[in-house]
Structure 1
């Protein structure tokens, strides 16, 4: 697993963790925002009307309503990214990471508008009478790039595990164990059975369930979050200030947090923003392709609401809970995760300014440091090291009160071998005080409000509904990709593997799962961004045609707020 984790680190370093990827993702969104004249602002009100069914027509082909398609797509995006993903971004990038999540969402509203419109336009009806769509269909049917369509479909299947299945149940199991003491594999077993029962019913059952879960889970989570935000209301102003002041300079060291450079906060903020709202990834278009609509652009407008709800509302609330409560820079007693842990040579202290600066440089990829990875043996008696010639870094902080064990209940006595900063013996565990991340950090934050320790139950319940609904939606994305690749007969074997992977991830290494998700997302995103950019002119023509048709149909009735010439009417409707 250590070797696999290092391999994922390498892939992430040249893909999502690279210097160029955030610029590509934001660049495409920025380009379409300018090219289409800020559709995320001009069409927002109109999108709200479309999703309510105001302009629906009888007889439109499709499997779901606009709202059900939006709910299914939201269930695929509103998940651990909103609870664990935001916490992870802040824990490694500081407050500045939240700013870049916002930027990803703002430009992502346009990116999603484009990808959903084009995918809906080239959707097809499958052998069983349901609709199938997604970027692979416009790549194949419009661009005549079957090789790119196949690459995207394969990446979708991989990402359905890396985004939809593995990290979701992993965070659920982690939260349920921390809150209620349930064994992870017990949680995974029960939810795996429920997942299988839901996804066997296809898109109609999925849409029916998600359209009920999404509003409920959002309401429960927001109420709990407001209990923390209002309790720490005096910290909201400083929290917002830290997000903006650190946006261009990186996040300074605070408490146990050793600091993050601009490049690191920017990269992680954009990366986690993508994981949260999936704008540009090409996943949501698969759900929206099922919507009953004769105008692809209208469904594209509905998708504008997704990044707004997902990131600008829910992720911001999570971020404010974490920042205002102050837990993001506090150390807690925790089990150290091997993938988040490095052992370095020498004894380092946060109180030593020179040593802290050296650690900052090391953690942020700088060259001005004297950090060396530890190689050698550590003698341990009753769980405590007998020497102090090493320092354990965990979750971008210095570990304290270190204890070695075989299990959480049995301390270790003997020799611990360390090679290149990693434990050689996988059976040895380390526990101590350090910063925490992901769902555990959000759980800690929710206990710092009016609900006290009971706040952790809100996170557990919210995470359970968020993440489980995400797993449901992503199973649909994966089986649509399998239909494109191998036909309808491949769907059932895929679902079996999907459920099996879901169960396995309930007791797997948290950080390892997140690393796999980060790589899978980028492998899926790049072909989609390339494809929609090639179709930029067609997208603009489709939007113009939509408004001409809309105005001609609604000029004569009361639904059109401005009766008049086509140009005036178009301007009014564009603003609506």
Structure 2
């Protein structure tokens, strides 16, 4: 355990920071700040994503699936842990991680769309393993990524999420963890046995409900103490650079915890979200990249910030707080609204974790599918093992598993971000094509596979258009009528 922690500290405390912030900054500069240039456009694409295109999953459903994974325990327990160990300044570095991560997310999800494959059932499958194989022609690298994806999300994170929710319910209601673990396994089994469509249907309902309810309650705390918000935001910024005396000794911890918990919360650059981004039926790959960059914004700048302000405005938190992130968030809300705040956090966390485990199970299936194919026996065996892990994880001390998951998560980021850096020219070609069509007046750009014949595309996923020039000409001709 000692050597595992040393390796974890080096990888997630040093290597991960360089990878996420360094390469994320490179993608930001190379794309001319795509996440800033397209920020207003993100809301338009989000609105357009509500329309279902064809028989496959819509862009909105893919967004809800990615938010099911991004918006999880990291937004409650992770933020609390970051503030506990790194002080208020950790929140600032979570913002920095998310800002550059939006560019990383744009490219990884765009490339997942470019290299996606039709699965023969009217749906698509894709992700980093597919753009590594078909974009870089490095199947060995894709196999390594898929193995890491299966171990990290399919096994380790499933156990961790189960532990988090069952112990939260035990603290709030006194429910024995072994029984809540079994109940959780049964409920999850009923959903994921129906495959990606049923997971998407459940996410469509639960993700907006859990997100809006949590934001509403935290906003109530923020609004009731609005006069303290400017000073709290100033404390966050000053603490991030060691300028706040009470937190001056936490500068290194603020950076490390901010990046680590920020990555755990929004997953930008890890190669997880592209697996669900690839399933959407969209007109242009970059449109899904824009939507997924927006989901990073929602996860960190909105939800994580709400949690951080809840903690810092409550009056419960003080430097040197000794406790875990869940307890800190529960007690912070209870300090403002009363004891029902602890119950609310437990219920919210349960919903967050439920959809997050569904997302993790699907990612594990994606990794397994790439490694061993679509055999039903293999898939059923995996699902049965996952249900056992959920029950087991609810009753264990998972410190070792958490350290191991951090290591494999860093390895995932390493493989994925190196692949993104090697494919940046392809990503820029897709982005430039998208931007050129928008400048030409096309509200919803379309992808013409014939213009990218040098790429290893699946022509079932991306059939040829009749004439892209006709589409642009029609959009230009429609502009005067729209203005009139």
Return the match for 2:367 from 454, 478, 481.
481
Is 1:459 paired with 2:345?
yes
CA–CA separation in structure 2 for the residues paired with 1:169 and 1:316: 24
Return the match for 1:26 from 21, 38, 43.
21
Return the match for 1:505 from 373, 393, 397.
393
Which position in structure 2 is the counterpart of 1:532?
Answer: 420
Question: Are the counterparts in 2 of residues 251 and 261 from structure 1 also a CA contact under 8 Å?
Answer: no
CA–CA separation in structure 1 for the residues paired with 2:214 and 2:121: 38
Tell me the CA shift for residue 126 of structure 1.
Answer: 2.7
Which position in structure 1 is the counterpart of 2:308?
Answer: 319
Tell me the CA shift for residue 108 of structure 1.
Answer: 0.7
Aligned pair count reads 450
Which position in structure 2 is the counterpart of 1:46?
Answer: 41
Return the match for 2:327 from 422, 427, 440.
440
Q: SS of the counterpart of 2:280?
A: coil
Matches within 5 A, 1:321-470: 321-329=310-318, 435-449=322-336, 451-470=337-356
CA–CA separation in structure 1 for the residues paired with 2:245 and 2:392: 38
Tell me the CA shift for residue 222 of structure 1.
Answer: 1.5
CA–CA separation in structure 2 for the residues paired with 1:153 and 1:560: 47
Return the match for 1:12 from 8, 15, 27.
8
Return the match for 2:100 from 93, 107, 110.
107
Which position in structure 1 is the counterpart of 2:30?
Answer: 35
Tell me the CA shift for residue 513 of structure 1.
Answer: 4.6
Q: 1:321 to 1:553 in 2, by over 3 A?
A: closer
TM-score by length of 2: 0.87
CA–CA separation in structure 2 for the residues paired with 1:492 and 1:465: 25
Matches within 5 A, 1:39-118: 39-53=34-48, 59=54, 63-118=56-111
Tell me the CA shift for residue 55 of structure 1.
Answer: 10
Matches within 5 A, 1:284-323: 284-323=273-312
CA–CA separation in structure 2 for the residues paired with 1:166 and 1:552: 49
Question: Are the counterparts in 2 of residues 93 and 251 from structure 1 also a CA contact under 8 Å?
Answer: no
C-alpha root-mean-square deviation of aligned residues, in Å? 2.4
Higher relative CO (Cα under 8 Å, sequence separation at least 6) belongs to 2
What does the per-residue CA deviation read over 1:73-106, in whole Å, with 9 as the maximum and x for residues that have no partner?
A: 0001100000000011111111111000000111
Question: Are the counterparts in 1 of residues 94 and 261 from structure 2 also a CA contact under 8 Å?
Answer: yes
Q: 1:238 to 1:210 in 2, by over 3 A?
A: same
Return the match for 2:379 from 491, 507, 515.
491
Tell me the CA shift for residue 41 of structure 1.
Answer: 1.6
Question: Are the counterparts in 2 of residues 127 and 488 from structure 1 also a CA contact under 8 Å?
Answer: no
CA–CA separation in structure 1 for the residues paired with 2:480 and 2:399: 57
Q: SS of the counterpart of 2:8?
A: helix
Question: Are the counterparts in 2 of residues 185 and 506 from structure 1 also a CA contact under 8 Å?
Answer: yes
Q: 1:153 to 1:251 in 2, by over 3 A?
A: farther
Q: 1:486 to 1:267 in 2, by over 3 A?
A: same
Which position in structure 1 is the counterpart of 2:138?
Answer: 145
Question: Are the counterparts in 1 of residues 192 and 199 from structure 2 also a CA contact under 8 Å?
Answer: yes
What does the per-residue CA deviation read over 1:213-249, in whole Å, with 9 as the maximum and x for residues that have no partner?
A: 1110012112221233334444433321221111112
Q: 1:245 to 1:89 in 2, by over 3 A?
A: same
Q: 1:54 to 1:310 in 2, by over 3 A?
A: closer
Is 1:279 paired with 2:268?
yes
CA–CA separation in structure 2 for the residues paired with 1:63 and 1:275: 29
Tell me the CA shift for residue 523 of structure 1.
Answer: 1.8
CA–CA separation in structure 1 for the residues paired with 2:21 and 2:155: 22
Q: 1:251 to 1:483 in 2, by over 3 A?
A: farther
- Unpaired stretches in structure 2, ≥5 consecutive residues: 444-471
Q: SS of the counterpart of 2:335?
A: coil
CA–CA separation in structure 2 for the residues paired with 1:120 and 1:148: 19
Which position in structure 1 is the counterpart of 2:460?
Answer: none
What does the per-residue CA deviation read over 1:488-515, in whole Å, with 9 as the maximum and x for residues that have no partner?
A: 1232222222222122111222544543
CA–CA separation in structure 2 for the residues paired with 1:176 and 1:559: 57
TM-score by length of 1: 0.74
Q: SS of the counterpart of 2:271?
A: coil
Instruction: Answer with 300-309 or 550-559: which moved more.
Output: 550-559
Q: 1:54 to 1:244 in 2, by over 3 A?
A: closer
Q: SS of the counterpart of 1:436?
A: coil
Instruction: Answer with 106-115 or 7-16: which moved more.
Output: 7-16
Matches within 5 A, 1:205-224: 205-224=198-217
Question: Are the counterparts in 2 of residues 167 and 510 from structure 1 also a CA contact under 8 Å?
Answer: yes
More helix by share: 2
